[in-house]
Chains A and B, each alone.
Chain A
Amino acid sequence: MEFLIETILSGLMAGVMYSLVALGFVLIFKASGIFNFAQGVMCLFAALTFAGIMEKTGLPWPIAFVMTIGVMVFVAWAVERFVLRHLVNQEPIILFMVTIGLAYVLEGVGDILWGSDVKVLDIGLPSGASDYMLDNFNIYVEKLEVFAALIAAVLVGFLAIFFQKTRIGRALRAVADDHQAALSVGISLQTIWVIVWSVAGFVALVAGTLWGAKSGVQFSLSLIALKALPVLILGGFTSIPGAIVGGLIIGVGEKLAEIYVGPIVGGAIENWFAYMLALAFLLVRPQGLFGERIIERV
């Protein structure tokens, strides 16, 4: 029994980490209709910059963190200025291709700036097992994962309010829906894009930091972005809660499948289970659990 609970818990916690990455995708997709393939690399780049600044300058982490936010805002500005501005009203597929290019550029720049060694991101986040849970319930829980879950909860709450209730949030959704109409009511596409990419950059920084604290900042970090894909398919590309729930389902699902189904088929299910689940889901509910229904009036 304890083992089952432990499995589920560790699945949930892993799920939260996926969710954080997925969140960045949802933000940009929701606000600009672009599937940002570079989101995973943005996590890597943010974490790399964060660790790099601390390593090179020896500044305390809060200052380095704020500086990294600055860098991510600059990235957002540059993406708007040099890429998106020239592609207004283009097909989504073209914008998608652009983000693939962007992923390579960011990865390259990160490599040139900070080198390709694995970096340790030690900013005093809680680590190790929670003694409390171990003593009282005999369940092994990583402190860092609990911390990550808390951070995710705060972020999601903040973003949900931001999108639903504020003027800027409304403008973001407006831009996602219709560029022309948004322009006609005086929304500036340029500003909105910089804001969205900045927020996505910030989320990437948080996700990258937590992943980095867990397993070191290394280039394979950008690959976790691939795990965010099934999360998005499950949760729906346009839903912030969807990204969270999707992440949790994937996290728990793959851990349970590994342990209970794995032995039957020879193991290593964890690597592909998420994709199978997403595939099955696409057949039944293509818009995801919380996605906007695709309504086509004919």
Chain B
Amino acid sequence: MSAFVDPARMAGHSGMEKGEVLLRVDNVSLAFGGVKAITNISFDIVKGEVRAIIGPNGAGKTSMLNVINGFYHPQEGTITWRGKVRRKMKPYEAASNGIARTFQNVALFKGMTTLDNIMTGRGLKMKSNFIWQCLHWGPALKEEIEHRRKVEEIIDFLEIQAIRKTPVGRLPYGLQKRVELARALAMEPELLLLDEPMAGMNLEEKEDMSRFILDVNQQFGTTIALIEHDMGVVMDLSDRVVVLDYGRKIADGPPDEVQASQDVIDAYLGVPHEH
């Protein structure tokens, strides 16, 4: 698996050092009609860390990820990505600037094989022109082989060799989640957004997934922002945690500090509150 590690490229394609602020959201508010999904939230993600976003159902976690990766455009606030302030991201921009993601309810290309799914993650890096591609020859073929090699390394890394040629629609859920991670990794992202990577998994699968997430973070230096409900997992994996409730930020800090916060305990145990 180490053949695939190329820290210079994986971690440093923006030239940012570990510990610098990679992404910052400032006073972001998002509403759908009269429904406020996110209200005035600010936090940052630091290069090289594992950042967890937690909160009860409907707290606005997924909406937050959608804002970061450009699916939603906030009505207020700004997003600063690698020091560049912008009002909104576009999904294409986010992807080509090194933000990859997975989804809560597995969004894979179901009719395609595992291999093809992961290859789509290389799409932005493939440059050969249309004519060569159609001929499937010359520079296009060379490029295809080169990227295929990269994809095979990711397949090895995530231990999914056996399902390489299987249409992903036929795979069990846990493996689909893994293929989705593989596709995101194929983009060699600088920031990886994981929306409930362990939802619906059994203990063993959760352990595998945790291991992969940590490996990605440590070996490739990929910054990770993840949403997760399993508190054990969150506390183990993350460096810093931001807690949302009803679209507001109620805590932000290291796991043990957050865990001890009275607001967080109230939010999870359901104390009557006035909003």
Contacts and interface: CB of A to CB of B under 8 A. Distances in A.
Given A184-B100, A186-B91, A186-B187, A166 B112 contact: no
A177 interface: yes
A186 B95 CA distance: 5
Contacts of B119: 170
B112 A174 contact: yes
Contacts of A187: 92, 120, 123
A165 to B, nearest CB: 5
Interface string A158-176: 1001100111111101101
B252 to A, nearest CB: 26
Nearest to A188: B92
Contact of B134 (A158, A177, A188): A158
Contacts, number: 95
B134 A186 contact: no
B103 A181 contact: yes
A86 interface: no
A122 interface: no
Given A168-B130, A177-B111, A183 B170 contact: no
A135 B94 CA distance: 67
A158 B136 CA distance: 11
Given A171-B120, A183-B71, A161 B136 contact: yes
B195 to A, nearest CB: 10
B103 A180 contact: yes
Contacts of B83: none
A165 B133 CA distance: 8
A103 B164 CA distance: 42
A110 to B, nearest CB: 29
Nearest to A184: B101
A182 B134 CA distance: 21
Given A168-B133, A185-B121, A295 B170 contact: yes
Contacts of A171: 120, 123
B110 interface: yes
**A interface, by DSSP: helix, strand, loop or mixed?**
helix
A113 B260 CA distance: 73
Given A166-B133, A167-B126, A174 B71 contact: no
Contacts of B96: 186
Interface in B102-129: 103, 107-112, 116, 119-121, 123-124, 126, 128
Contacts of A184: 69, 91, 95, 100-101, 103, 107, 184
Interface of A: 158, 161-162, 165-171, 173-174, 176-178, 180-188, 238, 292, 295, 297
Interface of B: 69-71, 91-92, 94-96, 100-101, 103, 107-112, 116, 119-121, 123-124, 126, 128, 130, 133-134, 136, 140, 144, 167, 169-170, 183-184, 187
23 contacts: A162-B133, A166-B136, A167-B126, A167-B128, A169-B133, A170-B119, A173-B111, A173-B116, A174-B109, A174-B120, A177-B112, A178-B109, A180-B71, A180-B103, A181-B103, A183-B95, A185-B121, A185-B123, A185-B183, A185-B184, A186-B91, A186-B95, A186-B123
